[in-house]
Amino acid sequence: MSFARYLYLIVAAIVLCALLVAGLAEGKNSGPVEGESHLIPSWASAAPMYCIIAAVGVIWLGWYHLKLARSITSMANRLNNHHNPHTPSPGNRGLKPLNKAIKHRLQDYNQHINQLQQQINNLQIKIQLTQRQKKHTQAIIYSIHDAVIVIDEFEKLLLANQAAGKLFAFDFKNAQHKPIKDLIDHNKKQFVDFICRGRRARVRDTKTEIQFIENGQPKTYHCIVSAVHDENRQPCGVVAVLHDITYQKHIQQAKTDFVNHVSHELKTPLASITAYAEMLADDEANDQQMVKEFCSVIQNQARRLNRLIEDILNISRIESGLIKVEKKPISLTILIQEQLQMIKSYANEKNIEISCPRPIVFDQVYADKDMLSQVIINLLANAVKYTPAGGSVKIQTQVDEISKQVSVTVTDTGVGIPQDELPNVFDKFYRVRANKNQAQGTGLGLNLVKQIIEKVHRGTVFVTSKPGQGSTFGFKLPLAARVPVQT
C-alpha cells in the first residue's frame, strides 16, 4: 500500500473519532427540556448522527479520491510502458515467452541467411574459377597446331580449334551443335566416317592415317580418335586429333628412296667393276689397248663408289662433329679454276659452255681446302647435270667490303626448281620430283654443301630458281683477315 493511502486512512480515522467524541459530548449536555416531547428530538440531540454522516461522507470522498489517483497512476504506467516496451507490464507479461521465441527464430533465420549468403559467395567464386579454367583450356586447345574436334553422342560438333576450322573450312561459332557430317566437305568424308565409327565403337583410342588433297597437294594426317567420358564415366562423345605428318612422310619416303637409290648407285659401279675385272681375269681383252680401257672403267666406277661412300660418311661426320677440319687462307678464284678442270670434260660431253670468274684482288677466305673444293664441285656438277645440252653455266665471285663477305654463285640455264620445293632442296635425301628423271643422284650433294658452308665455315647458302629458265645456287663466306705484306 502506498504512503498516500496510509495517510488517508489515518486522517479519516482521526476525523471520525473526533466527530464521534464531539457528538457524544453534545448529546449529554443537551438532555430533553422539560415540556418537550421525547418523540420529536431536537436539532442538538440529532448532532451525533449528523457527525457520523459527515464522517462517512468524508471517508467516501477520500476513498473516491484514492481510487481516482490509482486509476490515473495505472494509465500513466500504461502510457509509459507503451513508450518503453522493454519494461514489463502486467498486460504484456504473457507475451514475453512468445517474444523470446520469435527473437530466437529470427536469430536462427538470420544465421541461416548468412550461411546461404556465404554459400552463394563460394559458388560465385567457384563459377568464376570454372569459367577461367574453361577459358584457359579453350585457349590451350585453340593454340594447338594440330586440328582438334570434339563431337557429342549425337555426332554433333561440340568443340573445334582454329586448326580444325582451317582444315575443314568452317567457322566454329556458326558450326557448333551442327551434325559433323553436314560440316565437313565430301572429299574429307573418310574422316567423318572414322570419327563416327569411333563414337559408335566406344573404343578408348583408335588411330589411322588419312590423306586429303589440299590445294592440289596430297597431305597426310595422323588421326587419333578417343572416347570422351562424363563425370559418371559414361561415354558422351569423342575427340579427334589430326596431326600433319606430310613432312615426316616425305622424309620417310625420301629415306626409303635413298636406301633404294644408294643400293642401286652402289650396285651399278660394283656390277661394272665385277664384270670388267672378270673379263680381264678371263683374258677377254684382246690387246693392250682393251686392257687399258677395261682398267679405266674399273677405276672410274671405283671412284664413283668412293665418292658416294665419302658423301655419306662426310655428312655423318659433320653432323656428329667428328670431322677433322684444317683451315687456312684460300683464294676462291684460284680454287674455282682448279675445280673447273675436273668438270670441263663432263660439260663438253653435253656441249655446255662454262664461263669463269674474273680474278679479284683479294678474295681469300679462311677455309678447309678439300671441303670447299667439294662444295664447288657439287654445285658445278649439279649445274651441268640439270642443264640440257647446249646450255650454259656461269660462275661468279663478288666481294662485299662493307659486310666483309665474299659470295660465289653458279648460274645455269637448266630445268629449274618449282618455288614450293626450293626450301627443301638442301635437305638430306631430297630430290626435286620434277627433276628426278633428268639425272641420277642421291639427294646428298646439296646437303653436304650446306653442312660444309654453314656448320664448318659459318657461312650461308642460298638458291633462286625459275622452272624452265634455270637456277642460281651460291654461298657466302667471311673474308679472311688481310695480313700485311712483308717487304
SS3 assignment, position 404: coil
Burial of 305 (0-12, 13-18, 19+ CB in 10 A): middle
Strands 470-478 vs 460-466: parallel, antiparallel or unpaired: antiparallel
DSSP per residue, 274-333:
HHHHHHHHTT---SHHHHHHHHHHHHHHHHHHHHHHHHHHHHHHHHHT-----EEEEEHH
Contact stretch for ligand ADP (CB under 6 A) within 125-133, 274-282, 413-421, 477-485: 413-421
Contact segment (CB under 6 A) with ligand ADP among 104-112, 262-270, 297-305, 382-390 equals 382-390
Q: Given candidates 19, 242, 444, 456, which one binds ligand ADP under the rule CB under 6 A? A: 444
Look at strands 364-368 and 327-331 and give their pairing: antiparallel
- The full length of the chain comes to 487
445 binds ligand ADP (CB under 6 A): yes
Interface with ligand ADP includes 244 (CB under 6 A)? no
318 belongs to the binding site for ligand ADP (CB under 6 A): no
Q: E-strand spans in 359-391?
A: 364-368
Q: Which residue, chain included where needed, has cell 654445285?
A: 379
User: Which stretch in 35-43, 205-213, 340-348, 412-420 sits in contact with ligand ADP by CB under 6 A?
Assistant: 412-420
User: Do residues 366 and 480 touch, judged by C-beta distance below 8 A?
Assistant: yes
- Strand pairing partners for 412? 393
442 binds ligand ADP (CB under 6 A): yes
Separation CA 212–CA 218 (nearest Å) = 6
3-state SS assignment for residue 415: coil
Looking at beta carbons only, is 364 or 409 nearer to ligand ADP? 409
CA nearest neighbour of 429 among 446, 415, 444: 444
Size of residue set near ligand ADP by CB under 6 A: 21
Which residue has the CB atom at the shortest distance from ligand ADP? 441
Q: Which is nearer to ligand ADP, 272 or 442 (CB)?
A: 442
> Residue 472 has what DSSP assignment?
E
Q: Is 265 among the residues that bind ligand ADP (CB under 6 A)?
A: no
Among 443, 476, 479, 480, binds ligand ADP (CB under 6 A): 443
Of residues 467 and 478, the one with the C-beta less far from ligand ADP: 467
477 binds ligand ADP (CB under 6 A): no
* Residue 414 engages ligand ADP in binding (rule: CB under 6 A): yes
The CB density around residue 391, as the number of other CB atoms within 10 Å, is 19
Stretch that binds ligand ADP, among 288-296, 316-324, 410-418, 451-459 (CB under 6 A): 410-418
- CA pair distance 109, 101, nearest whole angstrom: 12
Least separation in angstroms between CB 472 and ligand ADP: 9
User: Where do we find the cell 579427334?
Assistant: 240
Q: Which of residues 80-99 bind ligand ADP (CB under 6 A)?
A: none
Region of 74-82, 288-296, 378-386, 394-402 interacting with ligand ADP (CB under 6 A): 378-386
Q: Minimum distance between the CB of residue 395 and ligand ADP, rounded to whole angstroms?
A: 12
Q: Does 382 engage in binding with ligand ADP (CB under 6 A)?
A: yes
Q: Does 408 bind ligand ADP (CB under 6 A)?
A: no
Asked if 415 interacts with ligand ADP (CB under 6 A), we say: yes
Binding site for ligand ADP (CB under 6 A): 382-383, 386, 412, 414-415, 417, 425, 430-432, 435, 441-447, 471, 473
